[in-house]
Amino acid sequence: MEPLRLALWQTAHPADSTEALARLDSASREAAARGAHWLVTPEMFLTGYLIAPERLIAHAETADGPLLQAVRGIARRHRIGIVTGWPEANKEARPFNSAAAIDGTGALLAVHRKTHLFGDGDTLRFTPGSAPPAWFDWRGWRLGLLICFDVEHDEPLRQLADAGAHAVLVPTANMVGYDQVQRTRLPEAARRFGVAIAYANACGREGETVYNGLSTVCSRAGERLGAATRDEDVLQATVTFPTSTPPARTRA
């Protein structure tokens, strides 16, 4: 089976969606030229993350709205899969913090709604998703989606592992002061649940919040396949297809 070639785009959040799409187009073109199958952006990249709640509501769209239609066009143009996030419209309450997986033909393969909201930053802006983690099949791989704080909880990873996922793609916006997530949690969780984890973090500042970078890719054995510093970067990593049964999973 063909290895999975990933590009984790560690970057600052944009000022607006126009900037986001322009930068995404450029990053996708460059990642495709370097042979990546998938480009993973930080959490909520298409609009900004910790912006005013009323701005998020104003920019919230369904999965068939103009924002993801534009992303689908970028993916199709550069023939690269893209995982990125946006505020998904929710008629009943605050929007969902969602991530979409769009393949190199422009097809929307999966949408995951963040289930584990982190602190007031999330709870004042979003409604938690209630569905199990999303996954999709691509060229023989089964790939799962989680968002940021989701990956710090065992149950979403257990659900994806039980669904047969080989790797989990995680747009995130982890902050300074929480380096233990990348340093300790990711390799430990990858090893324990037998899934590779690709964690694409933001960097720089958004308002008063400073993101800690350190985007990371771990193999299902917990081996660190790639790690970024704290600065702007595109982390390239290759995950090989598993050829043996994953280690037995344990319950915490």
Q: Residue 184: pLDDT band by 50, 70, 90 thresholds?
A: very high
Q: Residue 79: pLDDT band by 50, 70, 90 thresholds?
A: very high
Rounded to two decimals, the pTM is 0.95
Taking the C-alpha atoms of residue 220 and residue 247, their distance in angstroms, rounded to an integer, is 9
- From the candidates 43, 61, 152, 206, give the one annotated as an active-site residue: 43
Residue 107's SS3 state is coil
Q: Which CATH class is domain 4-239?
A: alpha beta
Tell me if residue 148 is catalytic: yes
Report the 10 Å Cβ neighbour count for 128.
Answer: 15
- From the candidates 61, 114, 152, 218, give the one annotated as an active-site residue: 114
Tell me the backbone φ, ψ of residue 120, rounded to 5 degrees: -65, -30
Structure tokens at 220: 């299902």
Predicted pLDDT of residue 244: 64
Taking the C-alpha atoms of residue 224 and residue 189, their distance in angstroms, rounded to an integer, is 12
Predicted pLDDT of residue 5: 98
Please say whether the beta carbons of 247 and 12 come within 8 A: no
Tell me if residue 223 is catalytic: no
- From the candidates 61, 88, 148, 218, give the one annotated as an active-site residue: 148
Structure tokens at 88: 């998904």
Tell me if residue 30 is catalytic: no
Q: Are strands 96-102 and 81-88 parallel, antiparallel or unpaired?
A: antiparallel
- For residue 144, the cross-strand partners are 135, 168
